[in-house]
Amino acid sequence: MSEVVSKEKIKELIVEAIGKSKKRKFKQSVELVIVLRDVDIKSPEGRIRETIFLPYKPNKDIKICVVAEGDMAIKAKEAGAYRVITRDDLKVLSENRKAAKKLARECEWVLVRTDLMGLAGRILGPALGPRGKIPVPVPINTNITALIETYKKAVYVRTKDQPQIMARIGTEDMDVEQLTENALAIISTISAKLKNPKYNIAKIVVKTTMGPAVEYKR
């Protein structure tokens, strides 16, 4: 990690980005951008797709949706899932693309009981895919309450049409130390995917949702 960027430098970027950001009427996210150098994003090595579980969850409502039946559905509701979708709900969504797209837009993660994966993938997949979201299979005996809490700390990162990775590391009202640890978790994961992270990571950028970018060029 020290080869790529120091913890002190990341902390400086976060403090500066939040400091330069004008106060808004809503709680802004703090975003991390990792710009890559000489990485072919069309090659298997450069096509990064990774779910990263951060040390600290953002101070905001993370909308987790659960596709389940029976006891898992009941426990998901009790655990505060944003939406609990049953087999019958999926059948309704299959006839309403607009509603499926709305669900895909609102849900940050969709956890699906394994026996419903085929149906959920067929109905929700076309709406989730373009948004970079993937259904997460959940074994029937899983503690869904704990899993919902775990995914509130998760971010999905990927290279798309540009050689860069973008991810939310938290919210502007979080402790700087927590934001720093979240940023380092992402940088560490991406570094492990690269042949030469010290060279392949060209720039690290931190910004709030509507604030100016603060960058560290390497």
Domains of the chain: 7-59+153-217 (3.30.190.20), 64-151 (3.40.50.790)
Percentage of the chain with pLDDT > 70?
99
- The model's pLDDT over 107-123, given as tens digits with 9 standing for 90+, comes to 999 999 999 999 999 99
Which residue(s) pair with 203 in the sheet? 35, 217
pTM of the model: 0.90
* Arithmetic mean of pLDDT, 78-98: 95
- List 52's β-bridge partners, or say none: 155
CB 83 within 8 A of CB 65: yes
Bridge partners, 138 (sequence order) = 113
pLDDT of residue 1: 43
Q: Average pLDDT of 190-215? A: 95
107 class by beta-carbon count within 10 Å (0-12 exposed, 13-18 middle, 19+ buried): buried
Burial class (CB in 10 A: 0-12, 13-18, 19+), 114: exposed
Return the structure tokens found at 147: 């899993």
Q: What gap in Å lies between CA 174 and CA 182, rounded to an integer?
A: 11
Rounded CA-CA distance 218/216 in Å is 6
Quote the Cα angle for 205-208-210, to 5°: 115
Query: Which residues fall within 8 angstroms of residue 81, CB to CB, at 6 or more apart?
Result: 64, 65, 66, 148
Inter-helix orientation angle 97-106/87-94, to 10° = 120
The average pLDDT across 63-87 equals: 97
Task: Give the mean pLDDT of the chain.
Answer: 94
Angle at 180 between CA 9 and CA 200, to 5 degrees: 60
Percentage, residues of the chain above pLDDT 90: 88
